[in-house]
Amino acid sequence: MSLREPPAWDGPSSDPNDEQFGDIVEPATLDDASEFDAILVGEPYDGAVIGRRGAREGPGALREALAGVKTHRFDAGPVQSIGDLGDVEVPDGDVETVQESIRETTHDIHASDALPVFLGGDNSLTYPNAAPLLAESLGVVNFDAHLDCREVRGEPTSGTPYRQLYETGLDAYACVGACHFETSTAYAEYVGEQGGEIVTSEAVGDDPESAVERALDAMAGVETIYVSVDLDVLDAAAAPGVSAPTPGGITTRELFRMLRATAGDDRVAGFEIVECAPPLDSRELTAAAGARAIAHLLSGYNRDSP
């Protein structure tokens, strides 16, 4: 297992009253990770993207955007106790080789008591990020415009992680924010056959609270929940810097609200932001949305959970 040294964090505000994430995130190692409520882990990789590449630059952009975000949430107070483990060393080789190597690293990261927050990186790494949690019954709440359960043909891609997880023991799955005309019939039927829940972006727009309830109802009976945000779940106007920008996606406000509600479930054991691709972004909108998604998730996270 190999992790690069974490970068230095600094809040850019000159006002001493402006506590920002850049002021509170501390460098961490696996030896002291358990001292933090959550630990950030960068995954600079986009070698499995089906569409446009650029997500390998996501971790840096998300860190830069998060550094300037203030720590205070009005109804919850400040976020605290965040460490940064740095970036995983991504090996040369095919996608399977990368996934196997990353899985060895994430296994050790999940063994700490802190909540891992993976900064992607493309969606293919959802498989090694979540797979170590399959030792217990696992459910995934996936905020995504797509189901990403394609068959593996040759080698895995950013479109196959949930097929891979199902084939290795995933117990429950809910996709929240799925867009019409973005998924083939065969894959929608596959998720249905597995007992998965699909909550469309229209359903989110009608009632975000009900959308979250449907997703968590689908997690009934599992011991552990992994939460994934593919930033293409947001409408293309809010998140242009992704591999597959999608018209008709959900709003940032809806995403943030649902993340806070999901994070309150004491079974949440991992979180990721994937498909932030800075070279494809406009005015850094996508990185800003991703950074605030992290802040909202952390502000709702139940720190007293086992």
185-226 pLDDT, tens digit per residue, is 999 999 999 999 999 999 999 999 999 999 999 999 999 999
Distance CA 116, CA 37 (A): 9
Residue 26 CA: distances (Å) to CA of 35, 81, 82: 11, 8, 6
Longest dimension (CA), the chain: 55
The per-residue pLDDT for range 48-90, each reduced to its tens digit, is 999 899 999 999 999 999 999 999 999 999 999 999 999 999 9
Q: Does residue 99 come out as left (phi exceeding 0), alpha (psi in the -120 to 50 range) or beta?
A: alpha
Phi, psi values for residue 199, rounded to 5° = -110, 115
Other C-beta atoms lying within 10 Å of the C-beta of residue 92: 8
Q: Does residue 248 come out as left (phi exceeding 0), alpha (psi in the -120 to 50 range) or beta?
A: left
Regarding beta strands 72-73 and 77-78, do their DSSP bridges make them parallel or antiparallel, or are they unpaired?
A: antiparallel
Closest CA to 233 of 195, 182, 167: 182
**Residue 3's beta-bridge partner residues?**
88
Q: What is the dihedral of CA 124, 127, 128, 130, to 10 degrees?
A: 130
Give the chain's length.
Answer: 306
pLDDT attached to residue 186:
97
The per-residue pLDDT for range 153-175, each reduced to its tens digit, is 999 999 999 999 999 999 999 99
pLDDT attached to residue 303:
59
Phi, psi values for residue 42, rounded to 5° = -85, 145
Amino acid at 183: T
Closest CA to 141 of 36, 276, 57, 260: 260
CA atoms within 13 A on the CB side of 36: 27
Report, as an integer, the average pLDDT of 100-124: 96
Report, as an integer, the average pLDDT of 264-291: 97
- Level-2 CATH architecture, domain 21-300: 3-Layer(aba) Sandwich (3.40)
- All structural domains of the chain with their residue ranges: 21-300
pLDDT attached to residue 238:
97
Distance CA 245, CA 145 (A): 9
Amino acid at 230: D
